[in-house]
């Protein structure tokens, strides 16, 4: 394929009153189109950009805009009894509306026909304590032929909820969109506030944020480094890695007052002991050294991870994948590579080429180790200067943050200091769409292993 093709980052709409505006953000710029409310239709970009599938289906549910040339026009957010012609992101939608359920309209899953082919449904309620999500498999014996992901069972209305609020009022909600990326989301909103005020965070504040962001990355990478082997039958790794993740959580609670650092970015900083932080970084480095040396010597584990759930580089590019999912397939994409604080302190993108479970596991080990190196350099740069939201803001602003799951994108339109449009694109929103490309050639027992190796968010995905 042509790897020079631009990357789709996001596609969303805004109600302008008399008409809609369709906004498509690529890595090299933004395209804006006006769409009539009388005849709301626009040209689909699905055939060229597969990652546009969920974006366009979401826009149709949110605003009622139809996409000509789209090969998938099924609802995304609206489930089987959602009221017809009710679009909650339109300006005239009353948030106090009591929904009157419509007649049942069955959702038509993608399926592969043929002799001996059957369907396996998993979810949306699972045996584990996770968010609801449905996975529909087409099977020939144990072999997976195709998989379809269906989420959005917990539509929380966050985008609508934040309309009319100040950034300070929105901050507690943004911090809780997804526990996986609380710090990353808070930083994204803080950067929006600074851009709206025409300001930029001083080095000490930026370093403090980066230290928390890398701490969040440590917690999640340790969690994944435990769960991936666990789903391959090696529970001992889960016990060890979970204990290390718990250490990081307690560390974050000491630094911010909360295990997930909720509201940490916009609150008055707590005093930190730099020497204590450096000692903990050193202890965590010893832990990852021991863990890697231990785990490398278990051939039966690598037999399960090697060549399982391969995402080729070409597919990672086609679907606009981000984060570890992209980097394990040889796509060197990381927001931190464009940030001066990181590049001036030795940041380097960690990547693999094989695109399988093993590659995603190795990237996490390398990133965990590299995060510790970065944190060590950030500690002496941190200040206790507070960050305060201002009421300033007029216009459109955006920010990118490399969360533990990948590139997080936030776009906010402000009018007289209040949010007119809030759009949040979690990295999982694009990565979930590529998951089915990893399934063919594997057996259904490998699905949990493949899925966990991607560490995709349900909550961040389902606003």
Which tens digit of pLDDT belongs to each residue from 5-32?
A: 799 999 999 999 999 999 999 999 999 9
- Distance CA(238)–CA(246), nearest Å, equals 12
pLDDT of residue 95: 85
Q: Which of 95, 119, 153 is the last residue of a domain?
A: 153
The strand pair at 418-425 and 19-26 is best described as unpaired
Q: Assess whether 215 and 117 both reside in one domain.
A: no
Give the whole-angstrom CA distance, residue 388 versus residue 34.
36
Same domain for 329 and 354, yes or no, is yes
CATH code of the domain covering residue 62? 3.30.460.80
281 and 219 belong to one structural domain = yes
On whether both 342 and 425 belong to a single domain, the answer is: yes
Q: What is the mean pLDDT of residues 148-165?
A: 94
CA distance 140 to 68: 34
Cα(316)–Cα(319) distance, rounded to whole angstroms?
Answer: 5
Give the CATH number of the domain where residue 321 resides: 1.10.645.10
Residues 90 and 227 placed together within one structural domain of the fold: no
For tokens 């391969």, what's the residue?
A: 310
Residue 401 lies in a domain: yes
Do both 74 and 25 map to the same domain? Answer: yes
Structural domain includes residue 461? no
Cβ distance 409 to 25 under 8 Å?
yes
Domain-located, residue 44: yes
CB 364 within 8 A of CB 273: no
| Residue 389, pLDDT above cutoff 90 | no
Confidence class of residue 4 from pLDDT cuts 50, 70 and 90?
low
- Record the pTM: 0.96
Q: How confident is the model at residue 96 (pLDDT cuts 50, 70, 90)?
A: confident
Q: What mean pLDDT comes out for the span 235-261?
A: 97
* Average pLDDT over all residues of the chain: 95
Q: Are residues 79 and 139 in the same domain?
A: no
Domain end among 65, 82, 103: 103
Residue 1's pLDDT band (cuts 50, 70, 90)? very low
In a domain, 85, yes or no: yes
Cβ contacts of residue 134 below 8 Å, gap of 6+?
Answer: 121, 122, 123, 124, 149, 150, 151, 153
**46 φ, ψ to 5°?**
-55, -45
Distance CA 134, CA 324 (A): 23
**Apex CA 419: angle with CA 22 and CA 423, to 5°?**
45
Are 51 and 65 in the same domain? yes
Domain of residue 143: give its range: 109-153
Domain end marker among 85, 103, 121: 103
In a shared domain, residues 86 and 125: no
Q: What is the model's pLDDT at position 386?
A: 87
Which residues are CB-contacts of 55 (< 8 A; sequence separation ≥ 6)?
Answer: 8, 10, 11, 12, 429
Using a 10 angstrom Cβ sphere, with 0-12 exposed, 13-18 middle and 19 or more buried, the burial of residue 277 is buried
132 Cβ neighbours under 8 A, 6+ residues apart? 123, 124, 125, 126, 151, 153, 154, 458
Domain-located, residue 439? yes
How confident is the model over 41-72, as pLDDT tens digits? 999 999 999 999 999 999 999 999 999 999 99
Has residue 463 been placed in a domain? no
Does a cis peptide bond (omega within 30 degrees of 0) precede residue 124?
yes
Does 147 share its domain with 166? no
Phi-psi region of 17 (alpha: psi -120 to 50; beta: other; left: phi over 0): left
**Residue 64 to residue 228: CA distance in whole angstroms:** 40
Residue 459 lies in a domain: no
In contact, 17 and 36? CB cutoff 8 Å: no
Q: How confident is the model at residue 2 (pLDDT cuts 50, 70, 90)?
A: very low
Q: What is the separation, in whole angstroms, between the first and last Cα of the chain? A: 33
pLDDT at 144: 94
User: 57 and 131 in one domain?
Assistant: no
Strands 19-26 and 406-415, bridge-based pairing:
unpaired
Domain for residue 460, yes or no?
Answer: no
Burial class (CB in 10 A: 0-12, 13-18, 19+), 114: exposed
Interacting residues of 444 by C-beta distance below 8 A, sequence separation 6+? 120, 137, 139, 142, 143, 144
What's the mean pLDDT in 331-355? 98
The verdict on 119 and 213 lying in the same domain is: no
- Whether residue 321 has pLDDT greater than 80: yes
Domain count of the fold of the chain:
3
The Cβ of residue 69 has, within 10 Å, a number of other Cβ atoms equal to: 10
CB 330 within 8 A of CB 351: yes
Average pLDDT of span 259-282: 94
pLDDT surpassing 70 at residue 130: yes
């Amino acid at each position: 394929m042509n790897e020079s093709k631009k990357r789709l980052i996001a596609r969303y709409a805004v109600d302008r009153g008399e008409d809609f505006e369709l906004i498509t953000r690529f890595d090299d710029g933004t395209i804006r189109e006006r769409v009539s409310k009388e005849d709301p239709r626009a040209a689909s970009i699905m055939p060229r950009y597969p990652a546009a599938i969920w974006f366009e289906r979401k826009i149709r549910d949110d605003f009622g805009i139809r996409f000509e040339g789209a090969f998938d026009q099924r609802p995304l957010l609206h489930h089987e009894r959602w009221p017809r012609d009710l679009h909650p992101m339109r300006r005239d939608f009353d948030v106090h509306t009591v929904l009157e359920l419509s007649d049942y309209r069955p959702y038509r899953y993608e399926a592969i026909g043929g002799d001996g082919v059957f369907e396996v449904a998993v979810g949306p309620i699972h045996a584990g304590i996770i968010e609801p999500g449905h996975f529909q498999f087409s099977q020939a014996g144990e072999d997976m032929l195709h998989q379809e992901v269906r989420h959005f069972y917990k539509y929380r209305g966050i985008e609508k909820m934040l309309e009319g609020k100040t950034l300070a009022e929105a901050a507690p909600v943004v911090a809780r969109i997804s526990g996986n990326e609380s710090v990353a989301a808070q930083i994204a909103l803080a950067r929006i506030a600074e851009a709206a005020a025409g300001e930029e965070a001083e080095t000490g504040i930026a370093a403090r944020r980066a230290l928390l962001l890398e701490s969040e990355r440590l917690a999640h990478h340790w969690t994944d480094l435990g769960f991936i082997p666990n789903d391959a039958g090696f529970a001992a790794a889960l016990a060890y890695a979970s204990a290390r993740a718990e250490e990081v959580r307690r560390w974050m609670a000491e630094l911010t007052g909360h295990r997930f650092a909720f509201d940490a970015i916009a609150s008055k900083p707590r005093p930190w002991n730099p020497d204590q932080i450096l000692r903990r970084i050193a202890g965590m480095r010893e832990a990852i050294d021991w863990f890697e040396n231990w785990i490398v010597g278990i051939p039966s584990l690598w037999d399960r991870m090697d060549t399982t759930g391969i995402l080729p580089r070409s597919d990672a590019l086609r679907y606009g994948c981000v984060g570890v999912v992209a980097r394990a397939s040889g796509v060197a994409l990381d927001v931190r590579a464009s940030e001066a604080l990181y590049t001036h302190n030795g940041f380097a993108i960690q990547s693999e080429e094989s695109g399988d479970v093993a590659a995603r596991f190795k990237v996490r080990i390398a990133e965990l180790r590299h995060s510790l190196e970065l944190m060590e350099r950030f500690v002496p740069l941190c200040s206790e200067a507070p960050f305060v939201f201002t009421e300033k803001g007029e216009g459109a602003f955006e920010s990118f943050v490399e969360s533990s799951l990948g590139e997080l994108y936030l776009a906010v339109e402000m009018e007289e200091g209040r949010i007119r449009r809030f759009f949040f694109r979690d990295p999982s929103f694009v990565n979930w769409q590529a998951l089915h490309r990893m399934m063919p050639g594997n057996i259904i027992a490998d699905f949990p292993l493949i899925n966990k190796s991607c560490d995709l968010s349900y909550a961040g995905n389902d606003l």
